[in-house]
Amino acid sequence: MADITNLESEEDLQAQIEEIEALSSIYGDEWCVIDEVSRIFCIKISSDAEEQKMTACLQIILPPDYPSTAPPIYQINAAWLRGSDRAKLANSLEDIYV
C-alpha cells in the first residue's frame, strides 16, 4: 500500500511540475511564485483599458494530492469583482477542474 501511495505522490508531483512549467510559459510575467515549497502561485491579470485599469490576481494552491484526488484551491483577489460575477467566475474555475 505504501508503494502505491508513494507512486501516486510522485505522479502528482510530476504532473504539478509540468503544469507549473506550462502555466509559467503561457502567462510569462503575469505568473508569479508566492511559495514554491507550499505550491502557491498567482496569475495577475490586468485590463488593457487605460481610463479604468482593473487588476485581478488569481491565487492558486496545489495540494500535495493534486491532481489525482484533490482539486486546486483558488482565491480570487479583485476588489471590483463582487456578487454574482465573482460567484460565476468561482463556479467556472470549479467546472474547469471537474
Please give the pLDDT value at position 3. 55
Q: What is the pLDDT of residues 29-67, one digit of tens each?
A: 999 999 999 999 999 988 776 666 788 899 999 999 999
d(CA 42, CA 57): 6
Closest CA to 16 of 95, 71, 56: 71
Distance (Å, rounded) from C-alpha 12 to C-alpha 69?
A: 9
What value, to the nearest 5°, has the Cα angle with vertex 29 and ends 68 and 81?
Answer: 75
Q: What is the mean pLDDT of the chain?
A: 86
Q: What is the mean pLDDT of residues 77-84?
A: 86
Q: Which three cell numbers stand for residue 36?
A: 514554491
What percent of the chain has pLDDT above 90?
Answer: 49
